[in-house]
Each structure stands twice: as structure tokens, then as C-alpha cells.
Amino acid sequence: MEKYIIEGGHRLHGEVEISGAKNAVVAIIPATILAKDRCVIENVPNISDVSILLHILQDLGAKVSYLGKNTVEIDTSHITEPVVPYESSRHLRASYYFLGAFLGRFNQAHVSPPGGCNFGVRPIDQHIKGFEALGASVSTDYGFIHATAEELYGSHIYLDVVSVGATINIMLAAVKAKGLTILENAAKEPHIVDLANFLNSMGADIRGAGTDVIKIHGVDVLRGTSYSIIPDQIEAGTYMTIAAAAGGDVLIKNVIPKHLESITDKLLQAGVSVTEYDDAIRIIRSKPLKKVNVKTMPHPGFPTDMQPQMTTLLAIAEGTSIVTEGVWDNRFKYVDELRRMGAHIQVDGKVAVVEGVPQLTAAPVKAVDLRAGAAVLQAALCATGISEVEDIHYIERGYEDVVEKLQKIGCSIKKVPISSPTLSQAQ
């Protein structure tokens, strides 16, 4: 077990390179099953969610080999059993994408319900509604979700809630179904478009990804492909708020600025200088931060996965900001950690009232989930004194080389075994 030791208060300068998108690659890895062939995927982030998914594929009989640090070759031709047991699925939410991918290839899937970050209830009724509309029977017993069909047929599906996971799972199941599937009220996140582009490069016929109506003409066969994952919108956004919180001048490279517009807009309102280039974004913060109100929404709204980092930024802004969580029921659990660093934040259900303070102070804190972990890390980087961050495995689920990237822009951060003394004692 390890922890981070962080000496806060350093202004940041330099460049940071953004990795491939976690929430795209966690859909694309299971999607390789549909090819029954060899796929080469580039720009794969080296994060624990990826290793878990690749291990699941290997356990299923796929051949997986790294051709470089971020390039993986996956051959799924030898997979015969469409089964993922609890021991494998419990580690991450995205294991439910094996349901759609298995259904698409084998017309059956037996997957134990997924784990993942705990933001309250995380139903999968819309995934099941989609599978059933395509002709599958879905049942749950002995801790498994079973989905089986003689044949899958295209259908007209209207999602009751905009769901990233359901949109992806229905695309995976429908891509080889007979006839046309029309998916309405679909999610529009960049990773939905990336998955559609990946599947199309395998020979699928998917149109409209990135809008709220996706049309999928089923095809008989999908083939192997080579594909490069898009840059991670949320990792980029996290470095944007870290730079804004700590202050300084940071160039964030390998990004798609269009994907970051809702975050850019809020940072500009907060008084941060944001300059967009073709594939980079520069953050300069030299003045005090100003209050901003934020409400999270499905894309292109402000992303819920940036809510903890934005709230943490507003904790040191002048004035009182209101942050409303519009996607998850319970995504303010990290606020207790921030309060121990001196933040003044009151939470009532899905609304946080953030009364800015001039400065946070160091404390021992823990990551309570992935983005909450990013938020406490950010708080520690701008607090006075030396903080310790525990439960960092949550952070490393989604941020590649986070310690090295932060050190490169001037952060004082070290990863040490849990039993180690603090940074000042260690020096």
C-alpha cells in the first residue's frame, strides 16, 4: 500500500501531455471481442482499469501483448465462453460492457454485475431495456446477469435517461443485429463517438454518434483493426483545474479543445486565462479566483467527472459559488476531506454551497473514489504545508503517470509506502 506525500503551495510551470481517454478505452477493449480477430490499439493509457480489463480478456482466452508502452495488440479469436465471474467484474464499472460485446458476438452473455465508484444507486435498467428490445431475454441469478437470444434484431429504442453506459452497451449489442437499430436520447460524450469510430473501422455501420439519435445498420462480420484512442477529456480538465488552483503557467498538450469547452468556459468566468491551440490548451492563473456557479449535465454540459475538481477550485475562490450535481445522487462525499483542509462547503443533497477561503491548509486526506481522489490531490497541491493522500489506488485507476506528470510541472509530490515518514522527515 502506498500514499502520496505532497508539499503544497508551489506555482506550476511547464508542459504536461494528456494520455488516451479512460472512458473510451474501457469500452473499446471489450469491443475487440466483436472482431474475432486481431486489433492493435494505440494511445492506451497505462492505468489500472486497463490492466484489469486486459486480464479479463486473457482469462477469457484472448492473446494480449504490448507492442510499446501505450500500444496493445489483442487477438480475441480464441474466446469461446461468454462468461465474466464476480471475482473479475467487481473491480470496475466498465466490466458491464462485456454484456453487450458478448451478446453481439455469441448471442449470449453471463456477466456478474459490475463494481466501480460508489455515487449512490447505479441502476442498469436502460442497458437491459436495450438488450430486450433487440430480442434478448435477460435474467439475474446466482449473482450473474444472463442475456440470451436466438438472434438479435434491430429495434427502435428510446432511453428514459441519458446514459453513457447504456448507449455504449446497446451499440455493442446492436452492431451485428439483423436490420436497423435507432437509439434515441443517446449519450453524446466524446467516448461514445470514439467507440463508434472504432467499431466503424472494424466494418460496422454506425451513424449519428455524438448526436442524440444513433443509427446502427447491423453487419454480419466485423474484422480486426488498428485504432488510436482519443485524448482524455477528464484528465485534461483535471490538469486545467490543478494549474488554475495552484497558479502559474501550464501548457496541456495532446487535447481536443472542443471537448473541453464547458470546462474552459467556467475557468474563464473564474478569472483564469485559457488559450486554445489546435491540440493544446494553456492555463495561466495569476489573479485571485472568482466565484462561479456550476451545474453538471450530460455532454456537452459541464461533466460530472469534473465536479469534484471544480468544487475544490471554487473552495479557494473569492465569494460563494453554488455547485449542483445533475447526474449522480451522491457525489459530494469528498467534501468531508476538503473540510479538514479548511474548506467551507455545505452540502444539501445534490447542491453544494462553496464559500471560498483564501487558503487551504495541509492535512492527511484520502481518495474516496477516482475523481474525488483527483480533487483531494488538487487541494493538497495548493494547500500550505505537507499533506498525505491515502487510498491512491482510486486515483491510479484513471490517471496515467500522475506523479511524474505533476513533478514535471513543478509539483512537490512523492509516492511512498504507507509506513514511510512524511516528506519533510524524509528529506
List, by residue number, the catalytic residues: 117
Asked whether position 305 contacts ligand EPZ by CB under 6 A, the answer is yes
From 341, 365, 370, 375, residue interacting with ligand EPZ (rule: CB under 6 A) = 370
To ligand EPZ, the closest distance from the beta carbon of 425 in angstroms equals 33
Asked whether position 327 contacts ligand EPZ by CB under 6 A, the answer is yes
Binding mask 386-425 for ligand EPZ (x = CB under 6 A): ------------x---------------------------
Alpha helices in 67-163 (DSSP H): 86-89, 97-106, 125-133
Q: In the block, which residue shows the cell 493538497?
A: 380
Asked whether position 124 contacts ligand EPZ by CB under 6 A, the answer is yes
Asked whether position 330 contacts ligand EPZ by CB under 6 A, the answer is no
From 8, 371, 378, 383, residue interacting with ligand EPZ (rule: CB under 6 A) = 371
Per DSSP, the residues of 207-264 read: E-BTBSEEEEE--S-----EEEPPB-HHHHHHHHHHHHHH-EEEEEES--GGGGHHHH
Kindly tell me which of 122 and 366 has the beta carbon lying closer to ligand EPZ.
122
Burial of 358 per CB tally in 10 Å (0-12, 13-18, 19+)? exposed
Asked whether position 8 contacts ligand EPZ by CB under 6 A, the answer is no
Q: Indicate the pairing of strand 226-228 with strand 248-253.
A: unpaired
Asked whether position 186 contacts ligand EPZ by CB under 6 A, the answer is no
Q: Indicate the pairing of strand 280-285 with strand 248-253.
A: antiparallel
Pairwise CA distance, residues 50 & 22, whole Å: 8
Residues within window 134-163 making contact with ligand EPZ, judged by CB under 6 A: 161, 163
Residues within window 270-289 making contact with ligand EPZ, judged by CB under 6 A: none
Cell of 210: 455524438
From 3, 110, 127, 285, residue interacting with ligand EPZ (rule: CB under 6 A) = 127
To ligand EPZ, the closest distance from the beta carbon of 166 in angstroms equals 5
- Positive or negative, the CA dihedral 327, 46, 26, 194 is positive
Cell of 328: 449522480
Q: What is the largest CA-CA distance in the chain?
A: 66
To ligand EPZ, the closest distance from the beta carbon of 377 in angstroms equals 14
Kindly tell me which of 229 and 289 has the beta carbon lying closer to ligand EPZ.
229
From 29, 60, 109, 117, residue interacting with ligand EPZ (rule: CB under 6 A) = 117
Kindly tell me which of 24 and 365 has the beta carbon lying closer to ligand EPZ.
24
Asked whether position 166 contacts ligand EPZ by CB under 6 A, the answer is yes
Nearest to 229 by CA among 411, 50, 84: 50
Pairwise CA distance, residues 95 & 80, whole Å: 18
144 near 118, Cβ under 8 Å?
A: no
Binding mask 64-103 for ligand EPZ (x = CB under 6 A): -----------------------------xx---------
Pairwise CA distance, residues 33 & 336, whole Å: 42
Tell me which residues touch ligand EPZ (CB under 6 A): 22-23, 26, 93-94, 117, 122-127, 161, 163-166, 187, 304-305, 327-328, 370-371, 398
